[in-house]
A = this chain, B = another copy of it.
Amino acid sequence: MGVTGERLRSYIERIERLEEEKQALADDIKEVFAEAKGTGFDVKVMRKIIRMRKQDLNERKEEEALLETYMAAIGMI
C-alpha cells in the first residue's frame, strides 16, 4: 500500500473511531430518556425543555410573545 493508501486509511479509521464513540453517546442519551420515561417523565416535553434551555432567554421570550400575537390574530386564542 503506497503512502496515499496509508494516509487515506488513517483518515478513514480515525473517522470510524470517532463515529463509533458518537454512536455510543447517542445510545447513552437514548438510555437516559428511557430511564426518565420509566420514572414517569414525558420524553417529548423533556426534549422541548432541552431545546428551550439552549435558546437565549430574551430570544425565547420574544418568540413566545410573537407566537401569542399570531395565534390571537388568526383566532387560535
What is the interface of chain A, defined by CB distance below 8 A to chain B?
A: 1-2, 4-5, 7-9, 11-12, 14-16, 18-19, 21-22, 25-26, 28-29, 32-33, 35-36, 39, 41-42, 44-46, 48-50, 52-53, 63, 66-67, 70-76
Contact = CB atoms under 8 A, between A and B. Distances in A.
A63 B49 contact: no
A41 B63 CA distance: 12
B49 A5 contact: no
A64 to B, nearest CB: 9
Given A11-B41, A41-B11, A75-B1, A49 B32 contact: no
Contact of A11 (B7, B36, B76): B36
